[in-house]
Amino acid sequence: MRDRSRRGGVLRDLRRLFLLALAVTLAWGGGLVWFAGDIPREEGAGADQARRTDAVVVLTGGSHRLTTGLRLLEDGLGRKLFVSGVYDGVDVQELLRVVRQTPGHLECCIVLGYAADSTLGNASETAGWMREQGYRSLRLVTANYHMRRSLLEFRLAMPDIEVVPHPVAPPNVRLEDWWLRPGTASLIVNEYNKYLAVLLRSLLEDSRQS
């Protein structure tokens, strides 16, 4: 009788664990579908294209981001361009050559940040620079799939700063039928998991402060 009761208890526990795992998997999968569907398909989608901010901030990771940041600076949409996460040894002139701009044309208004090696580092480095400059608003330039996590990190690091998102659409990341493209699917799943980790951290920080 006891053995039967014990087996019944084990089966109930296993059933509960299975249902919990299924619920978590379904929630994760539904969130992934939402996350992928919410990635901007075009450059600057969702941003006020004519909105001037104190600074344009580019997170390194692709030449399209730098080209976009330089164009926004040249169009007068920011006083300065801050490039966060630059490798040691890279200077402004070399950066301009990489994106085929004439050295000296915009050189005076570009500032390079060398301290960051992650999105969290980008947010921290940019927050320090914004405080030094006394700036209150920025236009954030990064890849479309990276934007949601970047915005969350930036708003956690500087809640009093207005952040205008300006996503860039990398040509090698094809979002149509992304689940059929192993490279893009892996990129999106990885980014989604990182976003969830930052979201969890932000919720834990909020609970500690309340």
Mean pLDDT by 10 residues, the chain (210 residues): 62 83 92 94 80 95 86 93 90 80 81 94 97 97 96 96 95 91 95 96 80
Give me the residue spans of the domains in the chain: 55-168
Task: Give pLDDT, residue 169.
Answer: 92
Task: Give pLDDT, residue 5.
Answer: 62
Structure tokens at 66: 């730098």
- List CB contacts of 136: < 8 A, sequence separation 6 or more: 54, 130, 160, 161, 162
Task: Give pLDDT, residue 42.
Answer: 87
Pick the CATH number of 55-168 from 3.40.50.620, 3.50.30.40, 1.10.10.1200, 3.40.50.1100: 3.40.50.620
Torsion of CA 141, 187, 43, 90, to 10 degrees: 40
Please answer whether residues 166 and 68 qualify as being in contact, where contact means their C-beta atoms are separated by less than 8 angstroms.
Answer: yes
Task: Give pLDDT, residue 105.
Answer: 79
Dihedral sign for Cα atoms in the order 159, 161, 162, 168: negative
8-state DSSP, 82? E
Task: Give pLDDT, residue 7.
Answer: 65
CA atoms within a 13 Å half-sphere pointing along the CA-CB vector of 9: 6
Q: Burial level of 5, CB count in 10 A (0-12/13-18/19+)?
A: exposed
CA–CA separation, 186 vs 27, rounded Å? 19
What pTM, to 2 d.p., does this model score? 0.87
- List CB contacts of 127: < 8 A, sequence separation 6 or more: 154, 157, 158, 161
Task: Give pLDDT, residue 12.
Answer: 79
Q: Burial level of 180, CB count in 10 A (0-12/13-18/19+)?
A: exposed
Task: Give pLDDT, residue 34.
Answer: 95
